[in-house]
Structure 1
Amino acid sequence: MTDWTDPDAFAAALERAETKEKGNCFEDFAEGETVEHDPGLVLSRRGSELWAGQTLNYDPTYWRPSVAEARGYDAVPVHPDYLLACVMGASVGDLSEKGGYFLGRDDLRYHRPGVAPGTELRVESVVESKAESSSRPAYGIVTWETTGYDAATGDPLLSYTRTNMIPRREPIAADGEGANAGDSEDEEAERADADLPDELLAPEGGHFEDFREALARADGRDAAVAYRHERGRTIDDTTVAQLPLATLNTAKQHHNADAMADSPSGEIVAYGDVTRSIALGHARSDEQTLREVSCDDERFHDFVTVGDTVYGFTHVLDANDGDARNAGEVTFEHVAFNQRDEPVYSGTRTALVRKRA
């Protein structure tokens, strides 16, 4: 009779045992295919407050009933970053659990302002495209459109497209081109410095008029409205593992140190949406944000690991008076960077920002 706990016997058993794998490889996806994701959360106020608190998103709309009611909500809504993380998390097991680089996200749209706690989430994805990767023969590139729905009504709550490198079962032959293409680091640094405007201006405050007035000051000058935010958030066990697992994100990158020991990072890494939410939390602390509208061109530039500190930088692109009496639409470019001043995330974001009373 086998003693499965005998170390030698168990080691031999592990060598012979088939591994029941999780996740899908590049070859498993077909363009046009719709993937229904079985996981799905009931959005909760506790989960929203945990996410918002740990990522320094302290807009009282998402904490205080009196403020939420004054801003037109029936009850305290869940934070939009928590909603995004829950939609993304439910998709990971089917789409990207195998690992691979998160290349970016586009066309993020919030279809219902003020999603209430207690909403049951249903998530599905459509495979938009597949492409080979000549520079990384062990991977292919897949783009999905993912939508989170209110399971009770079928109404869309949030949607986006995202692109990942996904491991292949069988690597393809690579031509080697593109791995080191482009300018040298010195040439890139010189060009970046030469491209900077002469002046970086900051708005006087956080209301819509402050952003509009700062853009007017920059108009006609070699200037940009761009500034950094004082707060920083150091990545710890809660942000690197607890937050993604609480949103059903099963990617090993965030909680399996053994599996990540031989990866390019050498250790577990932060969920990209934690990094993003921290950066946006820093930015929102210097705005009078009414609600989120959209995000585009989101890119993740480097690993963030436990002990790294995430800071935020904002470039104001536009301020449009719009139709709302009490708010105007402002478009920002946000950059998250670490303690070594290296960009780790960037994206554009449009939000309704309150006007002065």
Structure 2
Amino acid sequence: MTKTNPGNFFEDFSIGQVIRHATPRTVTEGDRALYGALYPTRFAVPSSAEFAKASGLDPAPVEELIAFHIAFGKTVPDISLNAVANLGYAECRFHRPVVPGDTLSTTSEVIGLKQNSNGKSGVVYVRSTATNQRGEVALDWARWVMVHKRDHDAPAPETVLPELADSVAAGDLVIPEGLDFSDYDFAAAGEAHRWDDYAVGEKIDHVDGVTLTDSEHMVATRLWQNTAKVHFNTQARPDGARLVYGGHVISMARALSFNGLANAQLIAAINAGAHAAPAFAGDTVYAWSEVLEKAETSAPGVGALRLRLVATKDRDESMTLRNEAGKYAEGVLLDLDYWALVPR
């Protein structure tokens, strides 16, 4: 009897199946430091303990995407070890700030299945929940991933497609307890732009670009204990190339968005996300954003912006998301719809 884990294939999943993922992971200050070494992030709240304290958050939280990557990484050995590609996200809410010393554990429930027409793979939909050492929910999200079949002749399951909201309603955003931007230090944050300075429909070219490398994306993926074969093993893909983890592109684009959105300090929710095209070492990533919606919050001095963050391979000064046929425009790597908390 084999003692090694080959991972689950499409036919191993069933609706309602609940998976408790190994291994709990404790967040450390090292995660904060290494995240900053991997990505050009400069947001003041996760960068400065004093800035965070002045904003009502003590101890200073790590970036929300650190928590997301750690929690996501836990799911990979059971959900996407045999993935063709991670396809998208929805209904992700950050319920409380994650701070060094918190230990995150993740469970997932299978909420949808659909075999592809080629009979060689299928799409698995899961809802995952990450809790801290006190059993409190830190974040939860839905995602869907294309997974290989082990046996191409295995019968197709009944198709079940979950109903997922287009976005998290503004009223359902969880505002961190104590958050207060009343005395916000704009000079320390790096930009003077307030919630009122942004208009729905406005597009922001973040200008800067970063060229992806195999070494950095593999370090990042190992940091989150993501074991998906396609990120490390050149024999896992027919083209012999390592696929860059989609979360690496998300964090790179979020970091690049600082130039123009430096005061979008905290991510409150990820409404939807799609990896429009694969990314590989040598690709140069740029980003632009569009303001989709604005909302007030109950926290003093805090407003919410719903933003579309688009990462592109090479710079697209026209900031075009889709072509005339309604497909993603050439060069679009990521289309991420999220809510951010900003000073008013």
**TM-score, normalized by length of structure 1?**
0.77
Partner SS for 1:258: coil
Which residue of structure 1 aligns with residue 272 of structure 2? 297
Check conservation: 1:44, 1:78, Cα contact below 8 A: no
Instruction: Find the structure with the greater CA-based Rg.
Output: 1
2:93 corresponds to 1:109: yes
Partner SS for 2:51: helix
How far is 1:173 from its partner?
10
How far is 1:232 from its partner?
1.1
Which residue of structure 1 aligns with residue 122 of structure 2? 140
Which residue of structure 1 aligns with residue 242 of structure 2? 268
Give runs of aligned pairs for residues 241-260 of structure 1, distance below 5 A.
241-260=218-237
More helix by share: 1
Check conservation: 1:292, 1:352, Cα contact below 8 A: yes
Check conservation: 2:207, 2:259, Cα contact below 8 A: no
RMSD of equivalent CA atoms: 2.1
2:227 corresponds to 1:227: no
Q: Give 2:110's aligned amino acid.
A: V
How far is 1:53 from its partner?
3.5
The one of 114, 124, 138 equivalent to 1:157 is 138
Give runs of aligned pairs for residues 1-357 of structure 1, distance below 5 A.
20=4, 22-112=6-96, 114-134=97-117, 136-150=118-132, 152-171=133-152, 206-211=193-198, 214-215=199-200, 224-260=201-237, 262-263=238-239, 266-287=240-261, 288-339=263-314, 341=316, 342-355=331-344
> Residues 104-161 of structure 1, C-alpha deviation per residue, up to 9 Å, x if partnerless?
110111010x211011111110011111111x321011100011110x2111101100
User: 1:307 & 1:242 partners in 2: Cα distance?
Assistant: 16
User: 2:312 & 2:116 partners in 1: Cα distance?
Assistant: 28
User: 1:279 & 1:163 partners in 2: Cα distance?
Assistant: 21
Check conservation: 2:7, 2:81, Cα contact below 8 A: yes
User: 1:166 & 1:259 partners in 2: Cα distance?
Assistant: 13
Q: Give 1:63's aligned amino acid.
A: S
Unaligned runs of 5+ in 1: 1-17, 175-203, 216-223
Q: Give 1:268's aligned amino acid.
A: R
Number of corresponding residues: 293
User: 1:87 & 1:294 partners in 2: Cα distance?
Assistant: 15
Which residue of structure 2 aligns with residue 4 of structure 1? none
Check conservation: 1:290, 1:327, Cα contact below 8 A: no
Q: Give 2:147's aligned amino acid.
A: I
> Residues 77-118 of structure 1, C-alpha deviation per residue, up to 9 Å, x if partnerless?
111111100001111011101121211110111010x21101
Check conservation: 2:285, 2:315, Cα contact below 8 A: no
Structure number with the bigger relative contact order (C-alpha 8 A, sep ≥ 6) is: 2
User: 1:173 & 1:27 partners in 2: Cα distance?
Assistant: 7
Check conservation: 1:39, 1:248, Cα contact below 8 A: no
**TM-score, normalized by length of structure 2?**
0.80
- Divergent runs of 4+, >3 A: 18-21
